[in-house]
Amino acid sequence: MVDTVYEKIRTAIGKALDDTTHFNAANAAQTIGKSLGLSDSMIQYTHVELRNTIYESEFKKVKVEDRMLFLPHCSRNTKVCKATLDDEGYHCKQCGGCNLGDAVKIAKQLGYKKIFIVPGGSLVKKIIDKEKPKAVVGVCCFNEALMSIDMAKSMDVVPQVALLLKDGCSNTQINLPLLEEKLSIGLEKK
């Protein structure tokens, strides 16, 4: 059922987009959400997916070596996590206590080299300033997504976002299939 809701949202977004007009993504998401009878969380997903769709054609053109992945430290299982922290964020030790290790593995298999597990947006900005990527994929909650998209665009970086399956600032859950989909945009199938 959930997959069909996501597909319906994407179809409705495609119909709602008009390249010749400027529109407010939040209003468009509300309109789509009401037309599909979506919950508030699905309207938030629609809002982010709408903004992803706007930037997808630009993102497709960016080579994987010019992309970065930012993962949220809040997905760590702090009871068992062995990750170390430095000025570039956490370094996953693949302990299996959460799905960050799986996310890192997926990204590496797709050719991503610059993968960061970060505690917040200020470190993301610092890393982007230092590394100068052309595109980024971020995994985060809805509120962080909106701020991150705006920040990336203000830094002339093309964004894509994969919303968390479960948010709440601790023991969050990454939507691995959605993350893989976003990471794969524009890449040749291996």
> Model confidence over 32-88: pLDDT tens digits?
899 899 998 888 888 888 889 889 989 999 999 999 999 988 888 888 888 888 999
Is 61-190 assigned to CATH 3.30.70? no
Instruction: Annotate 37-49 with three-state secondary structure.
Output: CCCHHHHHHHHHH
pLDDT band (50, 70, 90) for residue 173 = confident
Asked whether the beta carbons of 121 and 138 are under 8 A apart, the reply is no
- Return the structure tokens found at 174: 């990454």
Return the beta strands (E) in 37-114 as ranges: 67-72, 84-86, 89-91
Q: Cα–Cα distances in Å, from 174 out to 11, 128, 163?
A: 23, 22, 8
Report the predicted TM-score, pTM, of the whole model to 2 decimal places.
0.84
Q: Measured between alpha carbons, how far is residue 94 from residues 38, 90, 118, 136, 169 in Å?
A: 37, 12, 16, 23, 21
Tokens of 28: 């468009």
